[in-house]
Amino acid sequence: MSALRQQRKSDVLMELAKRRGIFWPSYEIYGGVRGLLTLGNVGFEIKRRLENLWIKYFVYSRNFQIIESPVIGPRPVYVASGHETQFTDKALKCGKCGAVFRADHLLSEAGVTIPEGASLQEIDEIVSINSVKCPNCKGDFSKAFHWLLMFKTEIGAGSGEIGYLRPETAQGIFTEFKRLYVHGRSSLPMGVAQVGRVFRNEVSPRQGPIRLREFTIMEVEFFFDPDSNPGPSEEDYLKHEIPVLTAEDQEKGVTGFRKMRVKEGVETGLFSSNWIPFFLVLTKSFLKALKIPEDAFRFREKLPSERAHYAKQLFDCEVLLESWGWTEVAGFAYRTDYDLSGHMKVSGEDMNVFISSSGRRIVPHVVEPSFGAERLLYALLEHNLRIEEDGRICLSTPPYLSPFDVSVFPLLSKPDFVRKAAEVARMLGDFKVNFDDSGSIGRRYARSDEIGIPFAVTIDHQTFSDDSVTLRFRDTREQRRIGIGSLHAELSKLLSAPKPDV
């Protein structure tokens, strides 16, 4: 057995990520900054395709709007949203060396359990009873405090106007609600999506590509009338089975998850809004398109003490990862009318809409599916990384989520082979082609497999007599003879992405 096969998959992946331009820690020449990541040529493209697939599933398939709002927001936005006071972590600062730690992480590493949602005072007591000291210098901690997770900045010169970098894209949708509602033909339900960078000033992230201070979020704010559109009108989603870990099960000490038909969850009142299970089913379908195995993801209902301040109910989609266990890749929050009402109060703008069928004026309610793109990218890579018997690495990502569509190789690096290969590559111009004529053909196949290019076209001796090439399949290494004239149509078919199940 090769040495590589004895290593952990996550270690192989981290090494591959640096070596082949998927991702790596940023600013290494200055010692690096935790929680910041640079995507290379390969990682950028896989992530872009992942985002496009998400847009296809969560925006186009439902006829939602998609917008782009600023990354910077003025302070009143985040006063209204509650983030300025609520979006915090409890932290401890060493009185001697000044190091700051997230209280829950520090205490669990010191072997001390703290109750979910412990107050600052309770944390101080736990620290003192267990005489927890600074792991760096053994110094004593000063009082626990709230650490604001938003990056603060100033807007303009001399004005002193405080701004924040957005911690979610949602507020850029809520603040524009009145205009978006008109664009959506003034009717509910209405979905508005956004894909963009968000910023969270984590105290001391130590989970590599999983806990980032700047990352891409893909989210939908789905507005509805809880009285006239309490759930989807089509009932297709009810028959689907989803892997669920409920809050009630967790309180009984259950771990893992169980498969539940959505209908059962709806009938037993598990969901505070039926739009939540609808988006869970859509997510299951999306994860299937990412080739995340069915036993490696679940929807965990968050305990009341774990919920974000705006959420009446919250489910996380968690994917099982080798190094980090069950890891949140998406959240599904029932935000009620919390945000629109908050902005109505602080801005003075009326966010009510008129429901003509019932003659009522209401502030719409919101269910929000929200996905972390980098975490999904990591989960996609880890679950699709294969180490072959002979020690070769094969990134077996679905063809539509590959960094290139196809490799084009001349069998030999002779001028007539290279010329013909370049001609075929040009003919495939609307695909993303990896043209490689360096080194042996075996090495070129290996490099192509490592970054997950699903197909390789090779120009060989026979090409010159009958205008055919070999089409090689990454996952099976099968080679098929195909006429150059049929190549374009064949690749289009092989590269097409599936459609959502709901």
State yes or no: residue 377 binds Zn ion (CB under 5 A): no
C-beta of 99 vs 387, nearer to Zn ion:
99
State yes or no: residue 134 binds Zn ion (CB under 5 A): yes
Work out which of 25, 76, 82, 139 binds Zn ion, going by CB under 5 A.
139
Tokens coding 458: 């090779």
Q: Shortest Cβ distance from residue 89 to Zn ion (Å)?
A: 18
d(CA 343, CA 80): 5
Tokens coding 440: 């042996």
Tokens coding 223: 């507005």
What residues have CB less than 8 Å from 11, skipping those under 6 apart?
none
Is the separation of the CB atoms in 94 and 134 below 8 Å? yes
State yes or no: residue 40 binds Zn ion (CB under 5 A): no
Segment near Zn ion (CB under 5 A), from 80-88, 92-100, 242-250, 412-420? 92-100
User: What is the pattern of x (binds Zn ion, CB under 5 A) and - over residues 403-432?
Assistant: ------------------------------
State yes or no: residue 95 binds Zn ion (CB under 5 A): no
Amino acid of residue 93: K
Amino acid of residue 78: Y
d(CA 187, CA 319): 35
Judged by DSSP in three states, 91 sits in strand
State yes or no: residue 94 binds Zn ion (CB under 5 A): yes
C-beta of 95 vs 115, nearer to Zn ion:
95
DSSP string computed for 32-43: --TT-EEE-HHH
Whether residue 189 is preceded by a cis peptide bond, meaning omega within 30 degrees of 0, is yes
Q: Beta strands 479-483 and 65-66: pairing type?
A: unpaired
C-beta of 33 vs 137, nearer to Zn ion:
137
State yes or no: residue 136 binds Zn ion (CB under 5 A): yes
Total Cβ atoms within 10 A of residue 269: 7
| Alpha carbon distance, N-terminus to C-terminus of the chain | 44
Q: Shortest Cβ distance from residue 105 to Zn ion (Å)?
A: 15
Judged by DSSP in three states, 117 sits in coil
Give the phi and the psi of residue 383 in degrees, each rounded to 5. Answer: -75, -10
Give the phi and the psi of residue 431 in degrees, each rounded to 5. Answer: -100, 165
C-beta of 85 vs 136, nearer to Zn ion:
136
State yes or no: residue 137 binds Zn ion (CB under 5 A): yes
State yes or no: residue 135 binds Zn ion (CB under 5 A): no
CB-side exposure of 169: number of CA atoms within 13 Å? Answer: 24
Q: Shortest Cβ distance from residue 100 to Zn ion (Å)?
A: 10
State yes or no: residue 97 binds Zn ion (CB under 5 A): yes
Q: Shortest Cβ distance from residue 27 to Zn ion (Å)?
A: 25
Q: Shortest Cβ distance from residue 99 to Zn ion (Å)?
A: 5
Judged by DSSP in three states, 212 sits in coil
Segment near Zn ion (CB under 5 A), from 43-51, 56-64, 98-106, 213-221? 98-106
Interface size with Zn ion, residues (CB under 5 A) = 8
Segment near Zn ion (CB under 5 A), from 136-144, 255-263, 286-294, 456-464? 136-144
C-beta of 136 vs 492, nearer to Zn ion:
136
Segment near Zn ion (CB under 5 A), from 24-32, 128-136, 392-400, 412-420? 128-136
Which residues are near Zn ion by CB under 5 A?
94, 96-97, 99, 134, 136-137, 139
